[in-house]
Amino acid sequence: MTSKVTESFKIADTDGHSDDVSRRIFMKRLGKNAGVGMLAGGSLLRAADATRGEEVASSMPHHEYAKHDATSLASLVRTGEVSAEELLNAAIQRLETVNPQINAIAGRMYDEARTAIRQGLPRGPFTGVPLPVKDISFPMNGVPSEYGSKLFADRRPKRDSTAIERLKRAGFVPFARTRVPELGILPTTESTYGGITRNPFALNHTAGGSSGGSAAAVAAEITPIATASDGGGSIRIPAACCGLFGLKPTRARVPTGPNGFEAWGGLAVLHAITRSVRDSAALLDVMSGSAAGDPYAAPHHDGTFLRQVLHKPGKLRIALVKTMNPTTDVDAECLQALQESADLCESLGHTVEETTDDFNRQFSFQELRNSHGMTVLVAVRRRVLARLEELGRELRHDDLEPVTRFYHDYAEQYTAVELENARNAFFRAARKMSDFQTRYDVIMTPTLATPPIKHGEICMTGTAQQVLDGLLEFIPCTQMANWTGQPAMSVPLNQTKSGLPIGTHFMGRFGDEGTLFQLAGQLENARPWDNQRPGLAAVKAD
């Protein structure tokens, strides 16, 4: 039986060669190139320098490296045009060049990455591709997982998560950890412990959160792909801020085990931020599918998500929703970008109907937002208490940032009945959403109500009320997909007059990532965004 991963591998081999043909070409090149030796797993290294007896470090030139998405880089490794170590060195050199400006990286795993290459990488759809890993949601055996928090400094999980196991099996080479806000709570990435992660397009503006480090790393061309997670928009928000593609999968599409079954009570899911649509789809093929012992699974998907990118979606019925209650003030440039995206969709043959008022009447937004807050606060308290148990001590006044500490203390008052009521509010919303989408295939909204905000506007050193107000003003639309469990994506179709990225947000039916990938592929082809690079070397603080 052909697995999804194997099928993705075959599609991703864009050279069109069979495995045997690719191997013959590889060996022919190997014979022609003096000073090249082969290691286990098929990766190439420059031979030892004849005069010094030392290994000569080589890397792919950045101007070439940055042209490729992850699928293309893997194809180069597969055909022997570059080695896994050359890609790793290219990623490391770029990281060390740009990270002082953007602070996207929480930790380095260079030695572990080189060891993995020397020992031989699995043959998969992404063999040899360097991968930054978000410093929360993706525990790795023996690697610090600090959650952007002093309390979790140097915390080292004792095993890989299921997601990391699958990513390594696909051939990825994890080599760095990316910054997050404390405990992944905020839609920005700044903390007293980890500092401020800056947007490569404008250093005084946020890269988004909580996967801001991952988005900044991809936008700054360290790699074309990085892992991310999303409990209220944390894939889509930074993707929109940094001009990237970000898809939040259906609830339970990607397992969060083995040490947990739900993240944030089922609100949070795992995936990635990418430059290309096909990378996102191929990665979901790698990561998706329930694991043994999971309490429930996402609806079955036939075939591969990668194949969906190549298919046109047909004529879609799209509901246009300009904002969600109680937020009424959306930035004029964001509304203009939304309308331009709607016009683009209509030019592709889809029908777009504004349904803002009708949509907002369907849902009890105050109840849903309160339920979201309750669920997150309880999850934060649970995680903090578990860490204190590991350390064998009480909470100290400087362990957490002020708002995080407030959240932790406030959550003590919630009862089990209140938490169960919150879960039921989400389930009721999911049924209403399902009813609403009998009339529409896709719902379109702004990803953000404003362009990327400046640093300090939403952070954990202020007050809880300031954070709440900031959330409503900045991200009124992304949380709905977490409440209902449906897939959603931010597509980088527009920019402000000053050059800041603006994302357009699309939500699909529960379990229907396929339609979103079809639409995203169509939009990417109609309005390519890959040439919208920040030119980081020339970026200055405004």
- Which residues are catalytically annotated? 134, 210, 234
Burial of 17 (0-12, 13-18, 19+ CB in 10 A): middle
- Residues 6 or more apart whose CB falls under 8 angstroms from that of 240 comprise 208, 246, 447, 448, 452, 490, 492, 501, 502, 503, 505
Bond from prior residue into 326 cis (ω within 30 degrees of 0)? yes
Query: b or e along 363-400 (b: 16 or more beta carbons within 10 Å of the residue's beta carbon)?
Result: bebeebbebbbbbbbbbbbebbeebeeeeeeebeeebb
Structure tokens at 116: 């993995």
For 376, phi and psi rounded to 5 degrees? Answer: -70, -45
| Beta-bridge partners for 435 | none
Instruction: Compute the distance between CA of residue 491 and CA of residue 470 in angstroms, rounded to an integer.
Output: 23
Instruction: Compute the distance between CA of residue 278 and CA of residue 326 in angstroms, rounded to an integer.
Output: 35
Pairing of strands 317-320, 442-446: parallel
Bond from prior residue into 75 cis (ω within 30 degrees of 0)? no
Q: Report which of 258, 124, 115 is spatially closest to residue 174, judged by C-alpha positions.
A: 115
Helices (H), 303-415: 305-309, 332-347, 356-361, 365-391, 402-410
Is-contact 220 94, C-beta < 8 A?
yes
Burial of 315 (0-12, 13-18, 19+ CB in 10 A): exposed
- Coil vs helix vs strand at 301: coil
Place of tokens 């879960």: 423
Dihedral of alpha carbons 301, 305, 311, 316, sign: positive
Structure tokens at 87: 């890609």
Is-contact 237 448, C-beta < 8 A?
yes
Instruction: Compute the distance between CA of residue 106 and CA of residue 253 in angstroms, rounded to an integer.
Output: 27
Q: Residue 46 carries which DSSP code?
A: E
Structure tokens at 190: 């700044």
In total, the chain counts a number of residues equal to 542
